[in-house]
């Protein structure tokens, strides 16, 4: 793949990020929590993370858990059908400051053109067709059974009196991350067999060329990498479930590195060689 290819494909080896819900605990206002959540969603998308898994730690609370999950899911929905998927909520009061992700499926055609692929929202179905909302270009009709209220990827098949659609796929193009949750960090052991589990800490082994070779060798028979980040006031160290614990920001110039900053720096490093 060219280093400037767009839209990019998903990697052969998956990247899964484990993020503590307490990443929002140091923000007091809703607007600050919104801004940080939006920044996190951008970083996850820029570096083509396949899945982000939220976990509870000692500083987590129920509000931040609900809020972070809502914003990360909100961000990944194509803008032209967002209002169909997400109900109005006071938690989205500052959604206007969220940065757009501009993923390949977030840029639908401005006019109806045969052959164009886009995501739509299934409004309703009868025995013959499903009515699919396509955003600003109107509604289309799909002759396949779908689930009401779900997102479906379609291709514009023909344009007569109606926009006729057929099911389509983004194939192996990157269209964003999935969001899920773990009860706590102890559940990470379920990834042990299929993934290389790497914790991040300033107390870990400094990343270098030798470590890079070790990771590449260990990855050969794995599905991908799980990158684990600690909370604002916690260090991940001596965790038995981890295969490696790395310092990905050696000789940091600040006393502390925030979780979202460590996320950006670590993903940039792994993006270089994965």
Kindly state whether residues 109 and 94 are assigned to the same domain.
no
Number of domains composing the chain: 2
Kindly state whether residues 149 and 267 are assigned to the same domain.
no
Task: Determine contact, residues 81/154, Cβ cutoff 8 Å.
Answer: no
Q: What is the pLDDT of residue 144?
A: 84
Cβ neighbours of 203 (radius 10 Å): 11
> Does residue 3 fall inside a structural domain?
no
Q: What is the pLDDT of residue 154?
A: 97
Kindly state whether residues 109 and 97 are assigned to the same domain.
no
Q: What is the pLDDT of residue 238?
A: 61
Burial of 88 (0-12, 13-18, 19+ CB in 10 A): exposed
**SS3 (DSSP) at 92:** helix
Q: What is the pLDDT of residue 129?
A: 92
- For residue 113, the enclosing domain spans 104-167
**pTM for the predicted model, two decimal places:** 0.94
- Please list the rounded mean pLDDT of every run of 10 residues in the chain (274 residues): 82 96 96 98 98 94 97 97 93 97 95 96 92 95 90 95 95 97 89 94 91 93 95 75 92 93 96 85
Separation CA 11–CA 8 (nearest Å)? 9
Q: What is the pLDDT of residue 237?
A: 66
Kindly state whether residues 37 and 77 are assigned to the same domain.
yes
């Amino acid at each position: 793949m060219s280093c400037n290819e767009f839209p990019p494909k998903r990697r052969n080896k998956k990247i899964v990020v484990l993020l503590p819900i307490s990443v929002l605990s140091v923000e007091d206002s809703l607007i600050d929590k919104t801004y940080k959540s939006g920044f996190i969603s951008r970083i996850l998308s820029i570096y083509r993370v396949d899945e982000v898994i939220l976990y509870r730690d000692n500083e987590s609370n129920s509000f931040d858990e609900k809020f972070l999950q809502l914003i990360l899911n909100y961000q990944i929905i194509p803008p032209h059908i967002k209002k169909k998927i997400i109900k109005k909520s006071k938690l989205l009061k500052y959604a206007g400051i969220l940065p757009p992700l501009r993923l390949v499926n977030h840029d639908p055609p401005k006019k109806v053109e045969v052959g164009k692929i886009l995501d739509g929202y299934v409004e309703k179905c009868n025995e013959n067709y499903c009515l699919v909302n396509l955003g600003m270009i109107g509604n289309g009709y799909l002759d396949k059974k779908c689930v009401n209220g779900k997102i479906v990827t379609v291709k514009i098949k023909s344009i007569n009196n109606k926009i006729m659609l057929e099911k389509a796929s983004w194939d192996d193009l990157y269209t964003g991350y999935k969001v899920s949750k773990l009860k706590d960090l102890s559940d990470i052991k379920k990834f042990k067999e299929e993934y290389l589990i790497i914790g991040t800490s300033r107390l870990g082994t400094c990343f270098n060329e030798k470590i890079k070779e070790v990771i590449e060798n260990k990855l050969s028979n794995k599905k991908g990498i799980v990158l684990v980040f600690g909370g604002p006031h916690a260090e991940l160290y001596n965790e038995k479930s981890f295969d490696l614990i790395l310092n990905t920001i050696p000789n940091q110039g600040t006393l502390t590195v925030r979780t979202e900053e460590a996320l950006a720096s670590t993903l940039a490093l792994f993006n270089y060689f994965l």
